[in-house]
Amino acid sequence: MIPARVAVLISGRGSNLGALLDAAEAPGYPARIALVLSNRPDVAGLELAAGRGVAARCIDHRPFARDRAAHEAAIHAALTEHGIGLVCLAGYMRLLTPFLVSAWAGRMLNVHPSLLPAFPGLDTHARALAGGVKLHGCTVHLVTDQMDAGPILAQAAVPVLPGDTEASLAARVLIQEHRIYPKALRLYASGVPGAYDGAASLASPLPPLAFTP
């Protein structure tokens, strides 16, 4: 099987990128990280990618001002130029327009730091603490035009412990993100279970990849 060429889109630290890079080195992994794009310059994730010999580029959103479509056209051009087959959003802190979402429908994954559909959007850990939930976690899902609402590929749960702060909870969740994102990409890139859209996924649901109470 020829590994899928994957682009990872980041905005910062890139710890999920690191987990994907590590996983993709394993023999037989069905994807390889061929490109890293950041919308911010000078972020740790770009250095990480370059240090691992992966093509790494910043396509800064700021020169595009409010022209999101033009920024996304530049991203799409870079993805095409590098022969990318799958896109992984990993801490990419820009809302996408329908243009990029539809261009990559079924070929774009995201990791989100909550047990979706709970806590879509930002500040998930603070909201989980404020809500008093006992379980929190993370989700890998396909990106659709509804924010943080696409078909779920994998989830992992963690306990919320007495005395947790936003930082301690985020750290516990992040460990699970690093476990499930490479697993979800492995399954998705190898075509298991083959289709995640519409009736096909309802007829043949993917069992959860990980559940860590």
Residues labelled as active-site residues: 112
48 interacts with ligand GRF by CB under 6 A: no
30 versus 91: smaller Cβ distance to ligand GRF: 91
Q: Residue 139 corresponds to which tokens in the numbers above?
A: 């989700």
Beta bridge partners of 5: 32
Q: Which residue is nearest to ligand GRF (CB)?
A: 91
State the nearest-atom distance from the C-beta of 19 to ligand GRF, in Å.
8
- Show contacts with ligand GRF in window 105-124 (CB under 6 A): 111-113
Compute the chain's Rg from CA coordinates: 17
Taking the C-alpha atoms of residue 30 and residue 18, their distance in angstroms, rounded to an integer, is 17
Least Å distance, CB 136 to ligand GRF, is 12
Residue 91, interface with ligand GRF (CB under 6 A)? yes
Size of the site for ligand GRF (CB under 6 A): 13
Is the Cβ of residue 48 or residue 189 nearer to ligand GRF in the bound state?
48
Residue 102 in contact with residue 22, Cβ under 8 Å?
A: no
Report the alpha-carbon distance of residue 54 to residue 34 in Å, rounded.
Answer: 6
Burial 177-212 (b: 16+ CB within 10 A, else e): bbbbbbbbbbbbbeeeeeebeeeebeeeebeebeee
Binding mask 121-160 for ligand GRF (x = CB under 6 A): ----------------------------------------
Interface positions with ligand GRF (CB under 6 A): 10, 12-16, 90-91, 111-113, 174, 177
